[in-house]
């Protein structure tokens, strides 16, 4: 510790206080501006966990037979279809023609795009109209209460 120096003049004392004030407030403010984000960071956000590769598309008995449901998969829309036999199928709902969102037609028992009348069968194959490629298939399985859809491995 520095020995008890006599301050050279009365003017140095208030100067010292000001410098200490400046330093103190600067340090406190800067530390606060580091601690505050870190603390906020550690508090879990409302959406508790990252959406992973799989999504719960529906509950087990939500979809009737011969019906479909659009759901969000990652950043794109996807289509869950329950066939007349009760089987589940899932596809990317992005039409391969001009990216409109397709839908399930229970009268045609096929997947239909409302923009230009494109049709896909229940294996995702483009069977009629402008779509040049089949729909991307997604993996779907029933896990207990949930119908879970995943990216095709």
Partner 1 sequence: MKRALIGATVLVGVLTLAGPAPGKDSCVSCHAQLESKLAEPAKQFESDIHHQAGLSCADCHGGNPQDDSRNAMSRARGFRGAPKKAQIPEFCARCHSDIAYMHRFDPKMRADQLSQYLTSVHGKRLKQGDKKVAACVDCHGVHNILAVSDTRATVYPTNVASTCARCHSAAAYMKGYPIPTDQAAGYEKSVHAEMLAQGDTSAPTCATCHGNHGATPPGVSSVANVCGTCHVFFAQLFDKSPHQAAFARMNLPGCVQCHSNHEIVKPSDDWVGVGPKSVCATCHAAGDKGYAAAQKMAGDLARLRTFIGRAEETLNTAERSGMEVSSAKLELGNAQEALIKARVNVHAFNAGEVQKLTEAGVGIAKKDYEAGVAALRERDLRRKGLGVSLIAIVLALSGLYLKIRRMESRRNT
Partner 2 sequence: MAGLYRQILTWLDERFGAGSIEEFLRHKTVPLHRHTIWYYFGGMTLFLFVIQVLTGILLLLYYRPTPNDAFESVQYVVTQVRFGWLIRSVHSWSANLMIFTALVHMFSVYFLKAYRKPRELTWITGMLLLFIALGFGFSGYLLPWNTLAFFATKVGTEMAGSVPIVGKWLLIFLRGGEEVTGATLTRFFGFHVAVLPGLATVLLAMHLLLVQQLGMSVPPQVERAIAEGHESARSMPFFPNFLLRDIMGWYAALGILGALAAIFPWELGAKADLFAAAPAGIRPEWYFLFMFQTLKYLPGRILFMDGELVGLLGFSLAGAVWVVVPFIDHHAGFGRLTRFFSGLGIFALGYIVVLSALALR
Q: Whose Cβ is closer to partner 1: residue 7's or residue 86's?
A: 7
Q: Does 98 bind partner 1 (CB under 8 A)?
A: yes
**Least separation in angstroms between CB 46 and partner 2:** 8
Residue 38's binding partner out of partner 2, partner 1, none, with CB under 5 to 8 Å set by partner kind: partner 2
Report DSSP letters for 76-95, one per residue: EEEEEEE-TTS-EEEEE-B-
Site string for partner 1, 110-139 (x = CB under 8 A): ----xxxx-----------xx-x-------
Residues numbered 32-71 forming contacts with partner 1, rule: CB under 8 A: 32-34
**Least separation in angstroms between CB 131 and partner 2:** 22
126-129: which pairs have CB atoms within 8 A and are 24 or more residues apart?
A: 126/96, 129/97
Report whether 124 contacts 138 (CB < 8 A): no
Q: Whose Cβ is closer to partner 1: residue 29's or residue 153's?
A: 29
Contact partners, residue 100, CB within 8 Å, separation at least 6: 113, 114, 115
Residue of 30, 60, 123, 141 that binds partner 1 (CB under 8 A):
30
Reading the block at residue 49, the tokens are: 């966990």
| Residue 58 to residue 78: CA distance in whole angstroms | 12
- Would you say how long the chain is, in residues? 153
> Using CB under 8 A as the criterion, which residues of the chain lie in contact with partner 1 when the complex forms?
5, 8, 15-16, 19-20, 22-27, 29-30, 32-34, 72, 75-77, 98-101, 114-117, 129-130, 132
């Amino acid at each position: 510790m520095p020995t008890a120096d006599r301050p050279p003049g009365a003017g140095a004392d208030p100067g010292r206080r000001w410098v200490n004030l400046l330093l103190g407030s600067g340090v406190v403010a800067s530390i606060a501006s580091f601690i505050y984000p870190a603390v906020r960071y550690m508090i879990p956000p409302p959406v508790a966990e990252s959406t992973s590769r799989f999504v719960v598309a529906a509950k087990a008995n939500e979809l009737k037979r011969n019906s479909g449901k659009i759901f969000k998969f990652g950043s794109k829309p996807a289509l869950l279809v329950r066939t007349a036999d009760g089987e589940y199928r899932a596809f990317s709902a992005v039409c391969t023609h001009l990216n409109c969102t397709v839908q399930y037609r229970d009268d045609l028992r096929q997947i239909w795009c409302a923009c230009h009348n494109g049709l896909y069968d229940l294996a995702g194959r483009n069977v009629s109209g402008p779509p040049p490629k089949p729909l991307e298939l997604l993996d779907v399985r029933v896990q207990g209460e949930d119908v879970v859809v995943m990216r095709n491995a």
